Structure 1
Amino acid sequence: MTGLHWGILATGGIAHAFTSDLRTAGLDVTAVGSRSIESARAFAEQYDIPHAHGSYEELVSDPEVDIVYIATPHPGHVENALLALDHGKHVLVEKPFTLNADEAAVIRDRAALKGLLAMEAMWTRYLPHMVRIREILSKGTLGEIRVVSADHTQKISTDPGHRLNALELGGGALLDLGIYPISFAVDVLGVPERITAFARLSDAGSDAEVATVFVHPGGALSTTVSSSRGAGANVAQIVGTEARLEIDRVWYTPTTFRVVTPDGSVREEFDGAVEGRGMQYQALAAERLVAAGATSSDILSIDDTVAIMGVLDEVRRQIGVVYPSEH
């Protein structure tokens, strides 16, 4: 166990995955909160959590909780994060951070005012293979980066009421799936200067497929594809003038990659296999940041999170997707 006490806000599938990995890493999960005390108690029993609360207010008021993981659907992130911050708790907010950049900026500014850490739970950024990729890029091994491509495609329910389809829940492939490759492109190349997007919308009006082409500082290009209607290869690559880096399926989870020169020679192979799903690495980073007194991540800064939400806003503007709460 560590000295930082985690509180889990909400008890859905992503909360189960995250908490399981916290336990794998030996981190201290102190409390869970749900709108249903029965759900909170069942969750607490499953993961041996000392305190179960029947409301989010009770969870963030728990004096033993230091940091809160926000695991509610996207539309609730801003309200839940502000609630935790106002009770003096650091927050790790499940991605996408919010519905839009304006909401993200509100959380950023409140955290800064309170002197607390606000961090997006883009867990892919913290995985060992991504850490190694950034090291390779910083050394210039690939030469000048010309192109980044990545996709995130899954076959998910077509039920209009499903969370990924319902606009009132922030549904659509972009925020749930497209956030991964878009965040990856920004990680490698920086925030795009030009954005072009196309989409196929579902009958519910949410985006079922989205394709993007970005122009980044210096002229490098990135392409992304996301879909909730069919499962693709889910691979990624970074193409440079001296070599390319190929990330295997499923690129945004613990996996393998290789660095390949233009003549086909393999310069490096890396196996990023980890214990559990790998969500513990973002939690370990959050603990390190809190211990250092930081209010923003050094791997994905809160300003970059706000900027990425702005990119998603522009993509949605171009494809014509607006959430009911934004009217």
Structure 2
Amino acid sequence: MLTDRQKIILSLIIQNYTSNGQPVGSKKLMDEGVNASSATIRNDMKVLEEYGLLEKTHSSSGRIPSMKGYRYYVDHLLKPDKVARQEIDQIRLSLKKDIHEIDDIIRHSAEMLSQVTSYTAFSLGPEMKDRKLTGFRIVPLNDKQILAIIVTDRGNVESQVFRIPENVASSDLEKMVKIINDRLVGEPLATVYQKLRTEIPMILHRYFQTTEGVSRLFDVILNEAFEEKVYVSGGMNILNFNQGPDIHQIKSMYTLVQDPNELVRLLIPFTDPVHIRIGNELENELLQNMSLIQANYDIEGHGTGVIGLLGPANMPYSRMFGLVEVFRRELANKLADYYRSLD
């Protein structure tokens, strides 16, 4: 489709535009080392524009990449930057902080990635389906609230404050803890989930005169153990990339970033180690000028996690790709070390 020179021109325009946000002309490309006359370069740029890979901001301007141009570049021309040793050392040092829970490691990785890039970062821990429920406690806080604590065999600790339903007595809570300890502690989470839907409702009817409040509380508390914990950091950074003056759009974007569940829906299953979606591929009109880099990381024997980076479509892809690769590797190493410490 493209000649070698046209590929070089497209790459240079994208690299320049993502660095400084300015349209790129033929003189700049000659200065960058394109071995051709200004007229020849302009002709190649016109061809790239006809292919839909470049756009003009106005008739006499240089060119900027189109969404289709970014897509072609990512698929065919992208070469990840090598991350500087100093940056890698800083990432490793930050991940070596005295963190005692898996969730803290995953949360911290999202915060770090967002700080380094000034974009919105996502971090999802390894799959939990093979883990076991090893501990459960309920701590009364007052007459109306309890603290429920759930522990798995791989160090995940969930704690959350719940309001006690009006028809649930303190003696009911003691019975609930006994049921969980007798019937569910030591079981794989997949088995716990199945029993919550089959065996446990029948047991609750046996122990309680009325099960409505207890059943709901029971279900809510233990469902915490099955939630896929996706941490979002730097959500408000999205507002920095919305350049439109439409107040309604700004309000809609603000609503989006305030709801982590909506942001989490952007993450989709994929098989490639690193996957990039651009513009309309995100299937959200508010994000049509943005891109999402999503990467899997594998931990042998413990499943697969995901990190993601959401930023403007004109992000410096080579640098961001390189950083995501480093985070993917270093986070996997950190979690693998953590799991080994539990064996």
Higher helix fraction (1 or 2): 2
Confirm or deny a common fold (TM above 0.5).
no
Larger RCO, structures 1/2 (Cα 8 Å, 6+ apart): 2
Please report the TM-score for the alignment, with normalisation by the length of structure 2: 0.23
The structure whose Rg is larger is: 2
Please report the TM-score for the alignment, with normalisation by the length of structure 1: 0.24
Higher strand fraction (1 or 2): 1
